Chains A and B, each alone.
Chain A
Amino acid sequence: MFKKILASNPLIMLIFSAVVLSAPIWLAPFGANYPDLLQKFAIFGIFAVGYNILFGLTGYLSFGHATFLGIGSYTAVWSFKLLTMNILPAIVLAMIVSGLFAVVIGYLSLRRSGIYFSILTLAFAQMAYSLAYSVLTPITNGETGLQVSQQDPRVLDAMAGIAVTDGIPSTNLFGALIKSQGGYYGFYVAAVLLIIAFYISLKIFRSPFGMKLRAIKSNQTRMKYTGFNTKPYLLTAFVISGMYAGLAGGLLASIDPLAGAERMQWTASGEVVLMTILGGVGTLIGPLLGTTLIKYFENIFSALNDSELHSMFSFMPEGLQNIMVTVVSPFVGEGWHLTLGLVFMIVVIFLPGGIMQGLTHLFNFVKRLVGLGGSNKVIDNMAANDTPNNTLNKHKGEA
């Protein structure tokens, strides 16, 4: 039965949509059901799902995908300034423009593979970041970041007779303000786009095209001698993932109409790599799990400070309490990345397939406990179809 569910696209999409759209309800017990965080889950989820099409399927590790996130954001804000505050043209343009950049950057970076490819993408990302800060200031507004203002032309809005009279205009989708409903509207817009993005990713994973991308990851030499020109396949995957990133960037700007260069910094590129690996590279749902966990814990840990730690450890005697606070405090607040780094190391060393691998082990373990018979076929099939054991996994298998 389980296998049937996994094999059926409509059923997967039904469950997935239900889970995503009901997130404000089931995340409530975790204290994570407020719009700001929910929007982040959905938007970075799109980013990670798209990144996984490149990294998960072809194995090409890009260290520069935040570039497309940034380009998407800038494009969206320009669309708000010049065309309309409606987010639809903004995100469509964001995808198109970041896709065009992905064609150029991908074409050049894909001339190399492995570590050289990663370095090239990183170099392009850093170039984009520095350019946004320096010579491109007229377009990016440098350090201040690009913002909308009341005086912007907004040609389409002007034609439609929409005028902004007080303060900074707000983004909308055909009149409905993104910020309305306390921000939940923004979340639902992002959630619907996430569902569409996930569906496309699911289709790609289960198409001949997706299988060929996996074959490239598995053995590119064989692929060439089997009669495939691998370059266009890789470039297509690169551009698709770049457009996903552009969509995510456009959405970020739609929710908060400003774009800054720090969105393109290498740490942002690194974050999506972490999300994907933490959740499980090459699995359908893993990157989303990774995104949710990282964004959730970032939210909790980075908000902690010393006085809160003191109250957390207040049940301890004074001396011990101080020691605990001293030990823990470097890992919270500004030091949240230290915690993230530690978690990442632990996952890569002990669970190279990410959380998805852990869940698979757990599932098999429970099944053995319950004694549902010795067949692990379901999970094996799942592994074969949706989790082409990544390279990290392979090494573990050999050990």
Chain B
Amino acid sequence: MSIILDISSVNKTFGGLQALNDVNLKIEEGETHAIIGPNGAGKSTLLNCCIGRLIPDSGSVTFNGQNMIGMQPHDINHAGMVRIFQTPEIFPDLTLLQNVMVPALAKRDGTFKFNPFKSLSAEKAILEEAHATLADFELDKFHDQLANSISRGDKRRLELAMGIIQHPKLLLLDEPTAGMARHDTNRTIDLLNSDKMQNMTKVIIEHDMHVVFSLADRISVLVRGNIITTGTPEEIKNDPKVKEAYLGESDEGESEDE
């Protein structure tokens, strides 16, 4: 399998705090890779360093053979890496349909296109794709509602739909089920495990062990800015270091469920 995202020797400090300490991580094409770790371990910082929100102090982030450090967020998007945020980043004042049309247009139009005399209703292909994507996520019945009017779980699925419609080479998901009720969580897991998404390369940051073990092909454990181990769910479950650093401390109940 080829490596699609190569994070190598990445360091990031905030003031005196070493948020990331010589992090090395290789994401293989086609896998679903979960990054787990206690709060403040540096998981979100790591994602931010990948998508151009933060610039690491040292180290390199190579995506699909291209250096990502210093690139603008919109260029990183066009390189094929799309991020789904922890608090839903959608367009609250647009309809659901428009919410998925915008990323579809980004995919087609590039970073800038001036076409003020083209009519939206003439964008047949984009409209069709948008409806189909909304339908995949069971959101099409709300398509002409404003996005701020739907439930939080639906908003998060909407953001997922906005990511998927761009057919990313790599999807970065920051706690896709945080704050969701159990049945909502299960719906999201089913979506991520569906035929359309299963083979998409994904990096998932997640607290919920149920979600992690339902989705991940491989798991990396990040503790205080260090990746302490990477392995299959089975290996991680039985790793004494992980138990001590993470599972044992904060999520004992959850891990016994598994």
* Chain A residues near B (Cβ < 8 Å): 7, 9, 200, 203-204, 206-212, 214-215, 217-219, 221-230, 232-233, 236, 240, 380-381, 384, 388-389, 394, 397
Contact = CB atoms under 8 A, between A and B. Distances in A.
B109 interface: yes
Interface stretch (B111-119, B133-141, B185-193, B221-229): B111-119
A204 B116 CA distance: 5
Nearest to A223: B102
B84 to A, nearest CB: 9
Interface of B: 51, 72-74, 77-78, 82-83, 85, 89-95, 98, 101-103, 105-107, 109-121, 123, 126, 144-146, 148, 162, 166
A207 B166 CA distance: 20
A208 B114 contact: no
Contacts, number: 116
Contacts of A210: 116, 120
Nearest to B89: A222
Contacts of A227: 74, 77-78, 103, 106-107, 110-111, 166
Given A226-B103, A381-B144, A215 B98 contact: yes
Given A384-B95, A388-B94, A207 B119 contact: yes
A211 B105 CA distance: 10
A214 B93 contact: yes
Given A219-B92, A225-B83, A233-B112, A208 B123 contact: yes
B72 A211 contact: no
A221 B162 CA distance: 14
Contacts of A200: 116
Given A207-B117, A384-B144, A219 B89 contact: yes
Nearest to B109: A208
A216 to B, nearest CB: 9
B103 to A, nearest CB: 5
Contacts of A9: 119
A203 B73 contact: no
Contacts of A230: 74
B112 A228 contact: yes
Nearest to A59: B93
Nearest to A390: B93
B144 A226 contact: no
A229 B112 contact: yes
A215 B162 CA distance: 13
Given A207-B117, A209-B114, A225 B102 contact: no
Nearest to A224: B73
A101 B246 CA distance: 59
